[in-house]
């Protein structure tokens, strides 16, 4: 069942056309990874889905509802949560308080504070610590937990690997199957192509705001991905 449907979406970042006529569909329960070089429009796309950058044209339909121009603060209630680039934890709040901000809208669902603490066993011991004192990987986990507490149908993760050591990144991504298994669909933007290919059911490669390659990781060759990523050579769609 199609959860998210993006049609001909154009989003400007200042004067730059960061997302240019993008089309994309996301099925319920799958993990879709968006890859692409810097400036390809990946983060702008996520921000548009989260309501932080309103699109110039095109449409976004979520669970059958047109949310293109829905303000950011109403998207949580609609079932969309964003784990922002750079974690963006609240610096004057503790770990637990940060998590609880996610539950502000009290959306019903399987995720509770206790369940998030099960997902990240190290967290309960640090719950009263100030969020700013955590390491990058720990902050990333808290950011994910915070988004989960809003019981989203769609979880958007922006550049999880940014600023983190690969081994930490791998460890954080290990929780993803558990999240998806509990009923959340995930759309992630990832700089680390190999990591993205490892966790995703499907992959879209963006170049200059457009999707230039899409398919299942196992159906795409390294050469195809490379060409799409850098925009060189002929680009073909993978078998779907």
Closest distance to other proteins from the beta carbon of 152 (Å)? 11
Closest distance to other proteins from the beta carbon of 88 (Å)? 4
Closest distance to other proteins from the beta carbon of 117 (Å)? 18
Closest distance to other proteins from the beta carbon of 172 (Å)? 19
- Residue closer to other proteins (CB basis): 96 or 192: 96
* Strand boundaries in the chain, DSSP class E: 2-13, 16-27, 31-36, 57-62, 65-66, 80-83, 154-158, 185-189, 202-207, 210-215
CB 157 within 8 A of CB 83: yes
Applying the rule CB under 8 A, the residues between 147 and 206 that interact with other proteins are 150
- Residue closer to other proteins (CB basis): 70 or 180: 70
- Please give the backbone phi and psi of residue 89, each rounded to the nearest 5 degrees, phi first: -75, 160
- Residue closer to other proteins (CB basis): 94 or 224: 94
- Residue closer to other proteins (CB basis): 55 or 217: 55
SS3 call for 39? coil
How many whole angstroms separate alpha carbon 190 and alpha carbon 33? 7
Among 5, 59, 130, 191, binds other proteins (CB under 8 A): 130
User: Residue 187 forms beta bridges with which residues?
Assistant: 32, 156
Applying the rule CB under 8 A, the residues between 43 and 82 that interact with other proteins are 50-52, 71-77, 81-82
Burial degree of 191 (CB within 10 A; 0-12, 13-18, 19+): middle
CB 67 within 8 A of CB 61: yes
String of contacts with other proteins for each residue 78-117, x by CB under 8 A = ---xx-x---x-xxxxx--x--xxxxxx------------
Burial degree of 181 (CB within 10 A; 0-12, 13-18, 19+): exposed
For 83, half-sphere exposure in the C-beta direction (CA atoms, 13 angstrom radius) is: 31
- Residue closer to other proteins (CB basis): 106 or 239: 106
Count of residues touching other proteins (by CB under 8 A): 29
Positions in the binding site for other proteins (CB under 8 A): 50-52, 71-77, 81-82, 84, 88, 90-94, 97, 100-105, 130, 146, 150
């Amino acid at each position: 069942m199609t959860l998210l449907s993006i049609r001909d979406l154009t989003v400007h970042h200042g004067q730059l056309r960061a997302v240019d006529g993008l089309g994309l569909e996301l099925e319920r329960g799958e993990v879709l990874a968006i890859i692409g070089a810097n400036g390809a429009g990946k983060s702008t796309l996520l921000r548009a889905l989260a309501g932080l950058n309103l699109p110039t044209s095109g449409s976004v339909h979520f669970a059958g509802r047109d949310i293109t121009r829905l303000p950011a603060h109403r998207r949580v209630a609609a079932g969309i949560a964003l784990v922002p680039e750079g974690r963006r934890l609240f610096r004057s709040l503790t770990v637990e308080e940060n998590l609880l901000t996610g539950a502000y809208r009290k959306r019903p669902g399987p995720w509770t504070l206790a369940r998030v603490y099960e997902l990240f066993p190290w967290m309960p011991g640090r719950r009263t610590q100030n969020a700013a004192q955590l390491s990058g990987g720990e902050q990333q986990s808290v950011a994910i937990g915070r988004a989960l507490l809003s019981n989203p149908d769609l979880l958007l993760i922006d550049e999880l690997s940014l600023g983190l050591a690969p081994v930490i990144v791998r460890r954080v991504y290990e929780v993803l199957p558990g999240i998806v298994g509990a009923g959340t669909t995930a759309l992630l933007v990832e700089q680390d192509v190999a990591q993205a290919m490892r966790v995703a059911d499907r992959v879209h490669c963006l170049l200059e705001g457009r999707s230039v390659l899409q398919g299942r990781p196992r159906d795409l060759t390294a050469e195809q991905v490379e060409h799409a990523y850098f925009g060189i050579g002929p680009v073909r769609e993978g078998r779907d």
